[in-house]
Amino acid sequence: MTPDYGRSLSAVLSALLDGGLGVEPARATALLLVDGLGTNLLAAHPADAPFLSTLADAGPLTVGFPSSTAISLASLGTGLPPGGHGLLGTSVRLADEVVMDALRWTDHDGGADLRESFPPEELQPAPTVFEQAEAAGVGVTVVTQRQFRKSGLTRAVLRGGRFVGQHAIGDLAAHVVTAMAEPGRQLVYGYHADLDAMGHVYGPGSLPWRLQLRQVDRLVETIAGLLPPDALLAVTGDHGMVAMGRTYDADTDPALLAGVATYSGEPRARHVHTLPGAAADVLAAWQGVLGADAWTVPRDQAVDEGWFGPLSARFAPRIGDVVAAARGTAGIVRSVSEPFLSGLIGQHGSLTPDEQLVPLLVARR
């Protein structure tokens, strides 16, 4: 499915502040983003999320392409689609010799810190929704894991307002509730990572994943029960997830390697950057190998069909000459360059409803 950028993560914060997406604004608003909370997964496990299942859902929303954390957080924080903020993959090609891990802001291959050579505020210069809200007199608080305080991704797409580091579910809830109780208009953003981790390691819908969903349900119920009377809590996700089955190895398959300069993206959403003059041959080879297991298209087709939303010309080179979005449970792994990522059970990034759709749940006092 092509993302609907009129009803996507990029619209959420503005809608919560000013009205939209069927949500009436409140004096104090908190958005809790639960990493990996997909609409279809939540609907399949109502017994593990009894409180979440009672909340009004203003979704589903699409998250954008690729449907992965760095891209989704950038869309949420900037209010722009991927084509507007330029983080177009978990690994993104910034120059001929540089592919960056957007989550860690490091060189993809060597792990060197790129925050000085590619300053986050310059790589993504658009003002964030948090900066805009703060300039308009809204109190802004960002509550997330304390190690993210000066991370490249935080600096690029979540900057603005007061950063509050948290250690566990208890202080995440406490910091969110405390910030909402402050006088005046308040916007609070909270982030919870562990549901996604359980899905990656054990698979979405596995027992560890389901038990973690129960903890998320209790977290949301706790915060909702402590809301001030003029406040609302919204809950969304940054993507869904599928259990990867059939795989193709872009590091070892000669047919997939021929004519390729480098790769970016992730197993469910590959950018293939080709050698000069090789794009047509690479496209044909990848279509021949992947067949019905991926939507494999040239760059211009992906752009024209709106996969990335409206595209800034400066970001066009970051898109592969060939783009492959996995279908079903397929994945295009890199066993040599990405051994850990390639071995994970749960994956996301593509255009399927299981990965694209997330809820927008709303609780009020």
* Tens digits of residue pLDDT in 49-70: 999 999 999 999 999 999 999 9
- Is 308 part of any domain? yes
For residue 300, give the CATH number of its domain. 3.30.1360.180
pLDDT confidence of 14, banded at 50, 70, 90? very high
> Cα Rg for the chain, rounded, in angstroms?
20
For the chain, what is the mean pLDDT?
A: 97
Q: Are residues 305 and 356 in the same domain?
A: no
- Is 232 part of any domain? yes
Q: What are phi and psi of 151, to 5 degrees?
A: -65, 155
- Is 200 part of any domain? yes
Query: What mean pLDDT do residues 137-155 have?
Result: 97
- Is 51 part of any domain? yes
- Structure tokens given for 123: 């790589």
How far is Cα 276 from Cα 14, in angstroms, rounded to an integer?
42
Q: Are residues 83 and 229 in the same domain?
A: yes
pLDDT for the residue numbered 125: 95
Q: Are residues 356 and 332 in the same domain?
A: no
pLDDT for the residue numbered 68: 98
Q: Are residues 310 and 219 in the same domain?
A: no
Place of tokens 């991927």: 82
Q: Are residues 149 and 85 in the same domain?
A: yes
* Helix (H) or strand (E) segment spanning residue 243: strand 242-243
How far is Cα 13 from Cα 109, in angstroms, rounded to an integer?
34
Domain range holding 336? 247-347
**Per-residue b/e over 101-124, b at no fewer than 16 CB within 10 Å?**
bbbbbbbbeeeeebbeebebeebb
| Whether the predicted model's global pTM rises above the 0.75 cut | yes
- Is 3 part of any domain? no
Q: Are residues 134 and 164 in the same domain?
A: yes
Q: Are residues 306 and 330 in the same domain?
A: yes
DSSP summary character for residue 275: P
250-269 confidence digits (pLDDT tens): 999 999 999 999 999 999 99
pLDDT confidence of 140, banded at 50, 70, 90? very high
- Is 27 part of any domain? yes
Q: Please, where are the H alpha helices in the chain?
A: 12-18, 39-44, 69-78, 82-85, 120-123, 129-135, 152-157, 169-180, 194-202, 207-225, 254-257, 279-290, 299-304, 339-342, 353-356
- Is 307 part of any domain? yes
Q: What percent of the chain has pLDDT over 70?
A: 100
- Is 1 part of any domain? no
Listed residue (198, 200, 159) closest to 76, CA to CA: 159
Q: What percent of the chain has pLDDT over 90?
A: 98
Q: Are residues 234 and 258 in the same domain?
A: no
What total of structural domains would you count in the chain?
2
Whether 3 contacts 356, CB under 8 Å = yes
For residue 72, give the CATH number of its domain. 3.40.720.10
